Amino acid sequence: MDMKFLREFFARHSAKLGAQDIFKYIGPGFLVTVGFIDPGNWASGLAAGALHGYRLLWVVTASTLLLVLLQHNAAHLGIVTGLCLSESSTKFFSRSMSSLILLSAVLAAMATVFAELLGSAIGLQMLFGLGLRAGAALTAAVVAILLATNSYRKVERWIIAGVGLIGLAFVYELFLVPVDWAAAARGWVVPSVPLGSAALVLAVCGSVVMPHNLFLHSEIIQSRQYNLQDDAAVDRRLRFEFADTLAAMGLGWAVNSAMVILAAALFFSRGIAVTEIPQAQATLEPLLGRAAGVVFAAALLCAGFVSTVTAAMAGGSIFAGVFGESYDVEDRHSRIGIALTLLGGLAAIFFVRDAFKGLIASQVALSLQLPLTVVPLALLTSSPKVMGRRAVSGAEKALLWAAVAATILINALLLRDVL
* Residue 8 covered by a domain: no
The model's pLDDT over 395-416, given as tens digits with 9 standing for 90+, comes to 889 999 998 998 888 878 877 7
Domain around 101: 20-418
- pLDDT, mean of residues 262-277: 89
For residue 20, the model assigns a pLDDT of 39
| pLDDT at residue 418, as a whole number | 65
CATH of the domain at 255: 1.10.4160.10
Q: Which helix (H) or strand (E) holds 100?
A: helix 95-128
pLDDT at 15: 47
Say yes or no to pLDDT of 204 above 60. yes
Concatenate the DSSP letters of all residues of 257-309 into one string.
HHHHHHHHHHTGGGT----SHHHHHHHHHHHH-HHHHHHHHHHHHHHHHHHHH
Contacts of 213 (CB under 8 A, 6+ apart): 32, 35, 36, 71, 310, 314
Q: pLDDT tens for residues 35-64?
A: 778 888 888 889 899 999 999 999 999 999
Each residue's pLDDT tens digit, 215-268: 999 988 887 666 666 777 777 788 788 888 888 899 899 999 999 999 999 999
User: Would the pLDDT of 202 be above 60?
Assistant: yes
On whether residue 14 sits in a domain, the answer given is no
Q: What is the pLDDT of residue 34?
A: 82
Give pLDDT tens digits for 72-94.
999 999 999 989 999 999 999 99
Number of domains in the chain: 1
Give the per-residue pLDDT at 23: 40
pLDDT above 90 for 276: no
Q: Is residue 27 part of a domain?
A: yes
| pLDDT tens digits for range 362-391 | 877 887 888 999 999 999 999 999 999 999
Other CB atoms within a 10 A radius of the CB of residue 193 amount to 14
In a domain, 261, yes or no: yes
Q: Is residue 170 part of a domain?
A: yes
Tell me what the pLDDT averaged over the chain comes to: 86
Q: Which of 128-137, 149-158, 262-271 has the lowest mean pLDDT?
A: 149-158
In this structure, is residue 4 part of a structural domain? no
DSSP letters, 317-353, are: HHHHHHTT----TTSHHHHHHHHHHHHHHHHHHHH-S
Ranking 30-44, 100-114, 117-131 by mean pLDDT, the lowest is: 30-44
Q: Is residue 11 in a domain?
A: no
Instruction: Please report, as a single letter, which amino acid is at residue 413.
Output: L
- Tell which residue, 7, 179, 229, 210, has the closest CA to residue 109: 210
| Whether pLDDT at 199 is above 60 | yes
**Residue 279 falls within a domain, yes or no?**
yes
